[in-house]
């Protein structure tokens, strides 16, 4: 009989670790069904896999095997008669779902991400992201210079971040009036949500010219919306009452974040605030999405997910003070800072 350590035998440890090493196959199966739009063909009733295969142009036997695996994750459900249905957790895979996860799943598992994850050992050895070593350029230069990668990234980020931002938006108290500047706000989806929820605010969408949509949302009045192109490492629009940075600070190193935050500090109107919508790494050994996202940052860019103390330090260096952290139900928290 094998001896055990902490009640776990060597055999059980090995079996568990090999199973964990195979976890990437769940992500691969999820990517495949998202690409193929399988969930779009599942409504209120279960369907035979043969019908799903015909609708998606796939092999029924192989599709059955992929859906059977994803049914163990609670995304699909295999009925006793062999048919498959979409569970409530899986509804976000539908293209017509509010804040659909479909393209976020595709972005999170795109080839460049898989390859960078495969070379994570490079990051551990060198302290540098593996993406530039593999592809010869920085991640965001690649996204900006490659139309296909750019479309996949921005579409995926809208999908990836929409639901998380929505949950955080519900928890944060925005000012009743004034100007909110969305720094690095992309195509403006989050700023639109902010303005619709807060009718007394005006919005400035700030990002690089090739990212800005060039038109305001139809449901936001013209006098409440403006777009300014620029580089947040150089300067940001002045006289805002609230500067929002959503999924921005985790992309950059501490020194780079301090540069961005200092520019925000210089531009702030008296009494203004900064609200960083990003993950906050919690202490302890419990499962934490922030710790997963942190490795994504490690392999792609110079950034990282931060603890509360780490946020406090970069704020201090930028002439700001961490005033509070507002947790939300999803992966994001709102980390608020004020000028010193």
Q: Which residues contact 200 (CB under 8 A, 6 or more apart)?
A: 175, 176, 177, 178
Which residue, among 276, 337, 285, has the nearest Cα to 305 in the 3D structure? 276
Helix (H), strand (E), coil (C) string for the chain: CCCCECCECHHHHHHHHHHHHCCHHHHHHHHHHHHHCHHHHCCCCCECHHHHHHHHCCCHHHHHHHHHHHHCCCCEEECCCCCEEECHHHHHHCCCCCCCCHHHHHHHCCHHHHHHHHCHHHHHHHCCCHHHHHHCCCHHHHHHHCHHHHHHHHHHHHHHHHHHHHHHHCCCCCCCCEEEEEECCCCCHHHHHHHHHCCCEEEEEEECCCCCCCCCCCCCCHHHEEEEECCCCCCCCCCEEEEEEECCHHHCCHHHHHHHHHHHHHHEEEEEEEEEEECECCCCCCCCHHHHHHHHHHHHCCCCCECHHHHHHHHHHCCEEEEEEEECCCCCEEEEEEEC
Which residue, among 84, 113, 108, 85, has the nearest Cα to 160 in the 3D structure? 108
Annotation marks residue 250 as catalytic: yes
Tell me phi and psi for residue 277, to 5 degrees.
-95, 100
Annotated active-site positions, please?
250
């Amino acid at each position: 009989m094998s001896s055990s350590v902490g009640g776990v035998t060597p055999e059980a440890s090995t079996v568990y670790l090999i199973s964990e090493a195979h976890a990437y196959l769940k992500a691969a199966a999820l990517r495949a069904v998202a690409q193929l739009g399988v969930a779009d063909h599942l409504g209120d009733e279960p369907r035979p896999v043969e019908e799903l295969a015909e609708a998606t142009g796939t092999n029924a036997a192989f599709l059955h095997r992929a859906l059977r695996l994803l049914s163990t994750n609670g995304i699909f459900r295999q009925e006793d008669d062999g048919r498959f249905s979409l569970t409530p957790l899986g509804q976000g895979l539908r293209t017509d779902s509010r804040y659909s996860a479909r393209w976020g799943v595709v972005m999170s598992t795109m080839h460049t991400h898989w390859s960078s994850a495969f070379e994570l050992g490079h990051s551990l050895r060198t302290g540098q992201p593996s993406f530039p070593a593999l592809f010869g350029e920085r991640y965001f230069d690649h996204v900006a210079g490659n139309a296909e990668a750019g479309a996949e990234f921005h579409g995926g980020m809208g999908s990836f971040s929409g639901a998380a931002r929505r949950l955080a938006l519900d928890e944060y108290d925005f000012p009743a009036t004034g100007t909110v500047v969305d720094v690095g706000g992309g195509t403006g989806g989050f700023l639109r949500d902010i303005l619709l929820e807060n009718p007394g605010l005006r919005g400035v969408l700030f990002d690089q010219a090739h990212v800005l949509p060039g038109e305001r949302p139809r449901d936001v009045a013209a006098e409440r919306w403006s777009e300014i192109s620029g580089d947040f490492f150089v300067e940001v629009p002045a006289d805002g009452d609230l500067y929002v940075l959503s999924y921005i600070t985790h992309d950059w190193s501490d020194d780079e974040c301090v540069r961005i935050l200092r520019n925000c500090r210089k531009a702030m109107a008296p009494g203004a605030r900064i609200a960083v919508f990003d993950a906050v790494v919690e202490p302890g050994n419990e499962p934490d999405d922030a710790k997963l996202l942190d490795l994504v940052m490690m392999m792609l860019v110079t950034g990282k997910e931060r603890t509360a103390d780490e946020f406090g330090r970069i704020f201090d260096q930028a002439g700001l003070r961490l005033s509070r952290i507002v947790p939300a139900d999803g992966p994001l928290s709102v980390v608020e800072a004020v000028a010193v």
